[in-house]
Each structure stands twice: as C-alpha cells, then as structure tokens.
C-alpha cells in the first residue's frame, strides 16, 4: 500500500523518480525499490517523502491513492485542443455571417440605386396640391436625398467589410 501511494502521489505531483530522488538526496533506484515494494523507507525518510510530495504521512500510509486522469498533462492538452477548435469554428462562423451581411448590404445598395435611377425622381412631376401626394413626394424626396449622400459611404464601408472578412488562404 505504501509503495502504491508513493508512486501514485509522485505521478500526481508530476515528478519523475529521478526528480523525487534528487529532492530526497537518494539514488533513483531507491525510489524504484520503494515503489516496487522491494524495500521500505525508515521513519525519518517517510517524513522527508511526505514533505517532498507535500502530502501528510497518514495519506502515504493510509488508503490507496487513485491516480486521476483529469490531472494529467495529456488530458489537459486534449481538452485545450478541443476548446481551441471550438473557438476557431465559432470565429469562422462569425466571419462567414459578417461576410454575407456585407455582401447583402452591397447588393441592396446597388439594387436601390438602380431603382432610383430607373424611376428618375418621379416626385418632381407629382401634384403637390393634394395633401396625400405632397406627403408622399416629400417622403420619397427625403429618402432619395439621404440615400444619395449616405449610400456611397455605406457602400464603400460594405465593400471594405466584405474584403476584410473574406476567407484568406
């Protein structure tokens, strides 16, 4: 039981037999013999082992210590790899959505420009003596005025956004 506990706790702490031997001022073969149950450390050495492993002597002498896989470096690196892949996928999805939105915005601006060119400012020919026509003419004129001034800026911004969010490589 002591031999299994020394080995399990040493591994949990991430120490090799050589590293523990250096801490205890013994040769590596001594650690190996303790862990194989071929010899047993004396009481002074048991205290030194507990200090080196930062574990109470009672735990070294007590129940079997189960080596948990969750603490191993390999498991942690595998979990980090999965998290990195998930973050990369999320970033790629956001990039695709933004790219699609910029392309859609460019398309909408081009279509609206074409429609405004084709209708050739019809509000100029409307009868403003009728309140309904006057309100509609003012609304169309306001939209056209605003679109002609802001549309090109939005279009340039959307083209830049689409360019910056394109798939690279």
| pLDDT, greater one: 70 or 143 | 143
Among 36, 12, 28, residue whose Cα is nearest residue 20:
28
Give the pLDDT confidence of 9-53 residue by residue, as tens digits.
Answer: 999 888 999 999 999 999 999 999 988 988 888 888 888 898 898
Close Cβ partners of 117 (under 8 Å, ≥ 6 residues apart): none
Please give the CATH number for the structural domain made up of 2-67.
1.10.260.40
The pTM is what? 0.49
Half-sphere exposure of 114 (CA within 13 A, CB side): 6
pLDDT above 60 (res 65): no
Give the pLDDT confidence of 103-160 residue by residue, as tens digits.
Answer: 999 999 999 988 888 887 766 677 778 887 788 888 888 888 898 899 999 999 999 9
Distance CA 123, CA 133 (A): 9
Domains of the chain by residue range = 2-67, 73-164
Burial class (CB in 10 A: 0-12, 13-18, 19+), 15: middle
Q: What is the pLDDT of residue 123?
A: 63
Cβ atoms of 141 and 133 within 8 Å: the answer is: no
Distance CA 55, CA 76 (A): 23
DSSP code, position 72: S
């Amino acid at each position: 039981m002591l031999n299994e506990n020394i080995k399990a706790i040493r591994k949990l702490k991430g120490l090799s037999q050589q590293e523990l031997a250096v801490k205890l001022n013994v040769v590596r073969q001594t650690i190996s013999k303790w862990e194989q149950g071929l010899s047993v450390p004396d009481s002074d050495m048991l205290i030194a082992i507990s200090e080196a492993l930062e574990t109470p002597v009672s735990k070294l002498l007590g129940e079997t210590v189960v080596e948990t896989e969750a603490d191993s470096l390999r498991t942690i690196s595998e979990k980090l790899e999965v998290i990195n892949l998930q973050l990369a996928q999320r970033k790629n999805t956001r990039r695709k959505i933004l790219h699609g939105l910029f392309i859609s915005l460019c398309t909408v601006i081009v279509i609206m420009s074409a429609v405004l060119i084709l209708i050739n400012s019809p509000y100029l020919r409307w009868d403003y003596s009728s309140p309904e026509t006057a309100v509609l003419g003012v609304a169309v004129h306001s939209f056209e005025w605003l679109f002609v001034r802001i549309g090109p800026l939005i279009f340039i911004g959307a083209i830049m956004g689409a360019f910056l969010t394109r798939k690279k490589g």
